[in-house]
Amino acid sequence: MARPGRPAMPKPDLHPLVDSFLDMLTTERGAAMNTRHAYWRDLADVSLYLRSKRSSDVDKASTADLQAYLKDLAEKTHVKGQHRGKIAVRTVARRLSALRQFYRFVVSENIRQDDPTSTIESPKQGRTLPKTLSESEVSALIKTAAQGGSAESVRLVCLLEMLYATGLRVSELVGLPMSAIGEQNQFLMIAGKAGRERMVPLSDPAQKALKNYMDVRKQFIASDNATRQAEWLFPSRTSDSGHLTRQRFAQLLKDLARAAVIDEDRVSPHILRHAFATHLLSHGADLRAVQKMLGHADIATTQIYTHIVGDKMKKTVKDKHPLSKTGTDG
């Protein structure tokens, strides 16, 4: 399914090597379906270009073919106005990263002896800090959501409180099974990326919002498909999955932002995840604890948030956190 505002991509018949690579991502690396689809989009775009412009395909592409594609991509993103500046650079870098992983797989399978991406340099990117919201803006969103008084409002407040209390990825949040709820609504058990399970505590406001939502949850279950929908914490009467979709939740947040008089471009499920991490760190939370709650495999990913919360926090992490020490031998 295409993202809102993005035209659906043609469904080309890709080279069998692409399917083999995607299967490897899923079976050996435990990649989520969203990740698999992102790689498919990247490699499909490359394949379409190579076939139409270079009379080639991904199995035979040369370094020159791929350089021509990346140049065309950079120019196209500027012309269409879809991406500008660092975003355009990031698009090219992401596409090149997908190509590198694909050709490393091809070489590892002895299908090709050479990696055509090995001499292609990545575009230089400046540091891009995660977008976030202030604590007062998050409070305004929650208060605005609560004003409706309907079952939909109660559900939206619950989604907001749980996301802000846990920092879950949006796919984790909307796909929570009922079995994820811990004793007396005090915590959640999350099955994250690559099968890594983690326990995330719920704040008092989140526990209260969850209790209120459970009183109206049955209104989101259709009688003709109750068994399938009932297994999800946030069931949906209309989605094929049986639960609320991330696209629908994102749209609900855009509508809420407008009602709260906040720039809708600054409000999304992922930005609320950023707000969770940023606000925790600004109040002195341990970096390792935040890493575990976010489900980051590498603490370096979590450390990016320290660049948002100010010089005081950066100095604390640099001076006090053992993983920030550098210059050790061995």
Its CATH architecture, for the domain 135-322, is Orthogonal Bundle (1.10)
pTM: 0.59
H or E element in which residue 201 lies: strand 197-201
Active-site residue, 273 included: yes
pLDDT tens track for 165-183? 888 889 889 999 999 998 8
Share of the chain above pLDDT 90, in %: 44
For the chain, count helices (H), then strands (E): 14, 2
Average pLDDT, integer, range 290-315: 67
In sequence order, what are the residues at sequence separation of 6 or more whose Cβ sits closer than 8 angstroms to the Cβ of residue 68?
53, 54
Q: Label residue 5 left, alpha or beta by phi (over 0 means left) and psi (-120 to 50 means alpha).
A: left
Active-site residue, 270 included: yes
Whether pLDDT at 64 is above 90: yes
**pLDDT the model gives residue 279:** 86
Q: Which of 39, 103, 164, 305 is catalytic?
A: 305
Question: In whole angstroms, what is the distance from residue 155 CA to residue 176 CA?
Answer: 14
Orientation of helix 269-282 relative to helix 135-146, angle to 10°: 130
β-bridge partners, 134: none
pLDDT tens track for 28-59? 888 888 889 999 999 999 999 999 998 889 99
Q: Which of 41, 112, 270, 307 is catalytic?
A: 270
Confidence of residue 142 (pLDDT cuts 50, 70, 90): very high
Average pLDDT, integer, range 193-199: 75
pLDDT tens track for 90-136? 788 889 999 999 999 999 999 999 999 999 988 876 555 567 888 89
Active-site residue, 208 included: no
**pLDDT the model gives residue 276:** 87
Active-site residue, 193 included: yes
Active-site residue, 213 included: no
Residue with more model confidence, 302 or 253 = 253
